[in-house]
Amino acid sequence: MRILLGLVLFVAGIAGLAWWGSSHQARTIEDEVEVAAKGVVTGAIHPMRVEVSGRDITLTGTADTEDELIDIVASLDAVEGRRVVRSDDVDVLPVADPYETALAKGIDGSLSLTGSAPSAAQAEVAAGHGATGAMDLPLASGAPEGWTEIVGAGVDALGPLDEGSFALTGMTAILSGTAATPREAKAATTALNALPEGIDRVVSVDVLDTGVVSFELIYDAGEGLSAFGTVPENFDAPAMAEALGFTDIAGDTTTTFGMDAALPERLSDLPGLLPDLERLSLRDEGGQIIATGVASPGLDPGYVTSELRATLGDDARIEITAGDAPDDWVTRTNRATGADQVASAGYWLPVYDFEISKQACNDAAAQVQAGRQIQFVTGSAELDTASMSIINDMAGLLLHCTDKIGMRVTIGGHTDSQGDDNENYRLSVARANAVRDALVARGVPAGRMQALGFGETEPIADNDTEEGRAANRRTTFEWPK
C-alpha cells in the first residue's frame, strides 16, 4: 500500500512539474512576442498599440498610409513565436493631395491654423509656435518633409506683418499681407529662408508706407494753401503751413517715415517770394523739386524764376509764366500777406484804409519803404525788376492819399556823391520820372504827382562808405505840409 501511494505521489509530482514548466514557458514566449511586437510599432509615425494574448497579436491605432500598415503587419508576422496578427481596427489616414495648411494673422495679432496636420505630435509643435487651432486640425498623410519647419517659417514671416496669411499648398508656400514699412516687408520675406529645400515660395506683401515723399503743395494768392499726397511725418502739412506763414492748410495728405532733409529750409525761405506769385505748385518727388507757377501781373517771370531758384536750389525744375491782368476794381485778400488788394490798370495793389492827411500819408510812405528801397539798373533810370513789389505797394498808397482834393505828392530822386555832379542830377531826375511813370501805369493820376531830381544834394548818410552811399541812393515820397 505504501509503495502504491508513493508511486502515485511520484507520478503526480512529475505531472505537476511538467504542467508548471509548460505554463512558465508559454508565458515567457508570450512576453517575448509582446516585446518584439512593441519594438515593431515603436517607429510608427502615429501612436500604435499592440496587445498579445496567447501569442496572438492585436494591432490598434492609426497608420499613416496603407503601405505603412502593410510594412508593420509584415514585421509583426515575422515575430518569432506569434500565432495570429490582427489589424482590422487600425485606422489609415486619408491622403491629402495637394496637402494644404494655412495660417492667418488677424489685426489683433492672433494666428489661426486651418487645413491638415501630418500628426498629433507635429500639430503640438505648431501650437507651440503660437498657432491657435493646431491641435484641432484633422490628420492627413502626404505632407511635405519638414512640415513643422514650414509652419514655423510661416509664423515667423507673419510676425512683422500687420495682417496676412501663409498657405502651404503641395510644395508651394504663399505669403501675402500688409506691412507697415519696407523694413517689416523685408523681415517677413527673410523669414521664409527657413523653409526646407524644395519648397517654392510666392510672396505678395503690400507696403502701407513706402518711405517715399511724394506730394504737391499749392499756393493760390486768393485762396490760400493746400497740400495733397504723402508728406514726411516729422514735417507734415501743418508744419509746412507754419513754415510758409500760414495758420491753416487744406487738402488731403498722408504721412511717411521718409524725409526730404532739405525741405524745411527750402520752405522757410519761400514766404518772402509768395507775394510775387499768383499761383505756385511745388511738387516734391523723393527730394526732386518741381515748381510751376504764375507771376503776379506786371512781374517778369524770369525774375521770379531766379528768386525761386536761389531758394529751392539749382537742381529744382522751375517754370514760371506771366500772370494775366485782372479786371479793374476787383478786390481780394492776398493770402500770403493778409492785405486787401484791388486791381488797377492790370496790377494788384494794396488797399489802404486810414484818414487821409499829409502827416498820415508821409508816415505810411516811410513804413512802406522801411527796410527796402526802389532800385534801378546800375547807372541808368531803368527800374530793377526787384522793385516792382514796392512800386505796387506805393501805387496803392498813392491811390488812397491822392484821392483827397489838394493832396499832391513829390517824388524825389537822390544819388550818392560818386561821379559828376551834373550827371548825378540828370540821373536823379530821370529816376524820379521813371518811378512816376510806373505809378501812372498803375492808375495813379499823373496830375497828383510831381517828379523832382535832387542829385547828391540831400544825403542822409556818409558818402565815404558803401553803406552810406547805398542809403543816399533813394527815392522819396513827400506830401509837403
Q: What is the pLDDT of residues 118-142, one digit of tens each?
A: 999 999 999 998 889 999 999 999 9
Q: What is the pLDDT of residues 317-326, one digit of tens each?
A: 999 999 999 9
Average of per-residue pLDDT across 454-458: 94
Residue 82 has pLDDT above 70, yes or no: yes
C-alpha cell at position 414: 537822390
For residue 54, the model assigns a pLDDT of 81
For residue 378, the model assigns a pLDDT of 86
* Phi, psi of 341, rounded to the nearest 5 degrees: -130, 155
Residue 10 has pLDDT above 60, yes or no: no
Residue 115 has pLDDT above 60, yes or no: yes
Number of H helices, E strands in the chain: 12, 22
Residue 7 has pLDDT above 70, yes or no: no
Contact criterion met (CB below 8 Å) for 165 and 180: no
Distance CA 213, CA 259 (A): 6
For residue 72, the model assigns a pLDDT of 92
Q: What is the pLDDT of residues 345-363, one digit of tens each?
A: 999 999 999 999 999 999 9
C-alpha cell at position 147: 512640415
Bridge partners of 207, per DSSP, are 179
Residue 37 has pLDDT above 90, yes or no: no
Q: How far apart are the two ends of the chain, measured CA to CA in Å?
A: 176
**HEC assignment per residue over 302-313:** HHHHHHHHHHHC
Across the beta sheet with 111-115, the strand order is 131-132, 111-115, 100-105, 163-169, 172-179, 200-207
Q: Which helix (H) or strand (E) holds 191?
A: helix 182-191
Percent of the chain with pLDDT over 70: 95
Residues in the chain: 481
- Strand, coil or helix: what is 480? coil
C-alpha cell at position 135: 491641435
Residue 83 has pLDDT above 50, yes or no: yes
Looking only at Cα atoms, what is the longest distance across the chain? 181
Contact criterion met (CB below 8 Å) for 122 and 148: yes
pLDDT band at 9 (very low <50, low <70, confident <90, very high): very low
Distance CA 389, CA 393 (A): 6
For residue 44, the model assigns a pLDDT of 87
Average of per-residue pLDDT across 10-31: 54
pLDDT band at 25 (very low <50, low <70, confident <90, very high): low
Enumerate residues 6+ apart whose C-beta is below 8 A from 301: 295, 320, 321, 322
For residue 192, the model assigns a pLDDT of 96
Residue 69 has pLDDT above 50, yes or no: yes
C-alpha cell at position 109: 495679432
Contact criterion met (CB below 8 Å) for 354 and 345: no
Q: Which helix (H) or strand (E) holds 324?
A: none
Residue 31 has a CB neighbour count (10 Å cut-off) of 12
For residue 331, the model assigns a pLDDT of 95
Pairing of the two strands 100-105 and 224-232? unpaired
Burial category of 102 from C-beta neighbours within 10 Å (exposed 0-12, middle 13-18, buried 19 and up): middle
pTM over 0.85: no
Bridge partners of 251, per DSSP, are 227
Residue 223 has pLDDT above 80, yes or no: yes
Distance CA 63, CA 60 (A): 9
pLDDT band at 4 (very low <50, low <70, confident <90, very high): very low
Q: What's the half-sphere exposure (Cβ side, CA atoms, 13 Å) at 326?
A: 19
Across the beta sheet with 214-220, the strand order is 250-256, 224-232, 214-220, 277-285, 288-295, 317-321
Name the least confident of 41-55, 84-98, 209-223, 320-334. 41-55
For residue 18, the model assigns a pLDDT of 42
Q: Looking at beta carbons, which pairs linking 250-253 to residues 24 or more positions away fall under 8 Å?
A: 250/224, 250/225, 250/226, 251/218, 251/226, 251/227, 252/228, 253/215, 253/227, 253/228, 253/229
pLDDT band at 481 (very low <50, low <70, confident <90, very high): confident
Average pLDDT, the chain: 91
Contact criterion met (CB below 8 Å) for 249 and 237: yes
Bridge partners of 413, per DSSP, are 453, 475
pLDDT band at 6 (very low <50, low <70, confident <90, very high): very low
For residue 30, the model assigns a pLDDT of 85
Please identify which residue in the block is written with the cell numbers 555832379: 421
Residue 39 has pLDDT above 80, yes or no: yes
Q: What is the pLDDT of residues 240-291, one digit of tens each?
A: 999 999 999 999 999 999 999 999 999 999 999 999 999 999 999 989 999 9
